[in-house]
Structure 1
């Protein structure tokens, strides 16, 4: 459990990237070159995800529409409502810029890889998790920009330009669709080289983080973000995750879902995607201090991984205990019948 709670290599790389941007921020021509490289890496990332995602695996769980609607409602309705309703209580803990990042976090789609991994670890409905997480990620390309527009207007951050929505579609959806089209030719190769997708995935995020924090550091990010504010942000992320886990768990039971479906709803409905969120932030918040926007996502990402790792093991342990008790009961009944 201690090993699960410690930061993984990617989290250490994120922290190192933030430190590098704080000490050696890129500027001028170098910043422009990094910006172009980041755009190319993001487009390649979504192309490879499109080529990797099997249409058959998605269609296998698509008939479970009640579960998918529940996950989508948690991701795109419950989270935004929590961010808005809890704003009077939570926003004094951080700066207005950071709470705008919190609201953006609430609009993001669910993760794909970690949602499926934790559902599998907890012995939930894996095929439904593949479908639910994939649908959330794809629909988020359209829903997240619209929700951001509503959030920004309510937060006093101005209105969202439709050009930003078009740029999101062009930069993320078009490469994804191109990857789906090319899947028949390169899908097998991509599946055999999943490490390549992981490198592009993590590399694109690190590039965006470096350029975002470089610009924010030059604008005085750390001068306006003291340690008490970072502590307040940690509290906000913990509160949002705890509420999401509780509401998805007991809400799925109230709706009559079985244990396997409950596990899927909990792990797909409580997650927020770092891989989708950072590229979207780069487009949607071009005129804002981007470091403050992505900082809540990075912190929430690490908290959700640590907490869900522990929760998945608890679900699996309960399943083992229930199976052992069932075997013991059957043995007792057999002995009673023999007597």
Structure 2
């Protein structure tokens, strides 16, 4: 098993991805635990966990480091515009093909991932492997997460009602403030006191984040399987979705690389733009789904493109990063 995990890690896979697969299988064969409401439901635990994830995220954000990172503003603008404008507009261009079809929910899932912020940890890791600008990667990933708290719901809110018929703007906005924005603000305000403590136990906090994410994935797929949401999709269609996600990553990666070259960025800055601008956060996507699609049986379908993209982006980015790392030797 250790040899298998080591081999998988070389191409970007890790034990967490295997656990995600295990949660989906568990939801398929044993959906009832995820549906139980009394005395305490897993869904309620996940809801509380979402708030703590964003609280701990705020604790690890240093205002001083964010201010210092503003120096290279041109690069940051390119990354953020790619993440929150180019990505969604690219997916939005294909919407007319899916309106009033059986694949409209899948399109909404792809658009949801396109509107998400960049990853934090894996972007920094890939930039580090490829020998890019690590401080800039940390800044971009952090600021992207903050922007995503507001921008992602605004983008997705434009299409939830038409695709699902279930979108209460007031309720979603209140829940967003309580579960996401307020915990982040509280966390940032407490950074000076408890930031060092959060950094000290960041490994344990990451494990907490992953536990909540796995709980959300399990409960979401329990609902979807119980309502037979996936029965209309064949293995060939799911393979086609995976191919589409790989294509989406490569198209964005190529366009971002071209743009960073046109701006005349240094090789280290180009590497940072490439990896921060083309990746999407499974963490934010999973926890945001709890806010944007509350008590919905379609959450499993909404998360499916994101989980495929997450696995594929790790694989492709890992291979590319390792190739870039060998550029000095070559």
TM-score (normalised: structure 2): 0.90
* Contact 1:57-1:130 at 8 Å conserved across structures: no
* Contact 1:103-1:151 at 8 Å conserved across structures: no
Q: State the match for 1:53 in structure 2.
A: 61
1:278/1:232 Cα in 2 relative to 1: closer, same or farther (>3 Å)? same
Describe the SS at the equivalent of 1:262.
helix
Q: State the match for 1:335 in structure 2.
A: none
Of residues 93, 99, 120 in structure 1, which corresponds to 2:128?
Answer: 120
Q: CA deviation at 1:261?
A: 1.0
Matches within 5 A, 1:295-334: 295-321=304-330
Matches within 5 A, 1:142-291: 142-152=150-160, 161-286=169-294, 287=296, 289-291=298-300
- The answer to whether the aligner puts 1:11 opposite 2:27 as a matched pair is no
Of residues 13, 26, 41 in structure 2, which corresponds to 1:20?
Answer: 26
Separation (CA, whole Å) in 2 of partners of 1:31 and 1:17:
22
Q: CA deviation at 1:59?
A: 2.3
Q: CA deviation at 1:141?
A: 0.6
Which has the greater radius of gyration?
1
* Contact 1:93-1:229 at 8 Å conserved across structures: no
Q: State the match for 2:93 in structure 1.
A: 85
TM-score (normalised: structure 1): 0.88
Separation (CA, whole Å) in 2 of partners of 1:85 and 1:319:
39
Q: CA deviation at 1:156?
A: 7.8
Q: CA deviation at 1:222?
A: 3.0
Separation (CA, whole Å) in 1 of partners of 2:315 and 2:100:
26
Q: State the match for 2:3 in structure 1.
A: none
1:121/1:274 Cα in 2 relative to 1: closer, same or farther (>3 Å)? same
Q: State the match for 1:139 in structure 2.
A: 147
Separation (CA, whole Å) in 2 of partners of 1:102 and 1:232:
13
Separation (CA, whole Å) in 2 of partners of 1:149 and 1:167:
14
Q: How many residues align?
A: 321
1:253/1:155 Cα in 2 relative to 1: closer, same or farther (>3 Å)? farther
Q: State the match for 1:72 in structure 2.
A: 80
Q: CA deviation at 1:180?
A: 1.6
1:12/1:233 Cα in 2 relative to 1: closer, same or farther (>3 Å)? same
1:250/1:153 Cα in 2 relative to 1: closer, same or farther (>3 Å)? farther
* Contact 1:108-1:140 at 8 Å conserved across structures: yes
Separation (CA, whole Å) in 1 of partners of 2:302 and 2:39:
19
More displaced 10-residue stretch of structure 1: 183-192 or 291-300: 183-192
Q: CA deviation at 1:90?
A: 8.2
* Contact 1:52-1:191 at 8 Å conserved across structures: yes
Separation (CA, whole Å) in 2 of partners of 1:36 and 1:208:
10
Separation (CA, whole Å) in 1 of partners of 2:214 and 2:291:
16
1:60/1:150 Cα in 2 relative to 1: closer, same or farther (>3 Å)? same
Separation (CA, whole Å) in 2 of partners of 1:150 and 1:195:
37
Q: CA deviation at 1:167?
A: 1.4
Structure 1: where are the runs of 5+ without partners? 322-339
1:79/1:93 Cα in 2 relative to 1: closer, same or farther (>3 Å)? farther
Residue by residue over 1:121-150, the C-alpha shift from the partner in whole angstroms, topping out at 9 and shown as x without a partner, is 111111111111111110101001111123
1:236/1:127 Cα in 2 relative to 1: closer, same or farther (>3 Å)? same
Structure 2: where are the runs of 5+ without partners? 1-5
1:237/1:229 Cα in 2 relative to 1: closer, same or farther (>3 Å)? same
Separation (CA, whole Å) in 2 of partners of 1:59 and 1:122:
25
Separation (CA, whole Å) in 1 of partners of 2:40 and 2:99:
34
Q: State the match for 1:330 in structure 2.
A: none
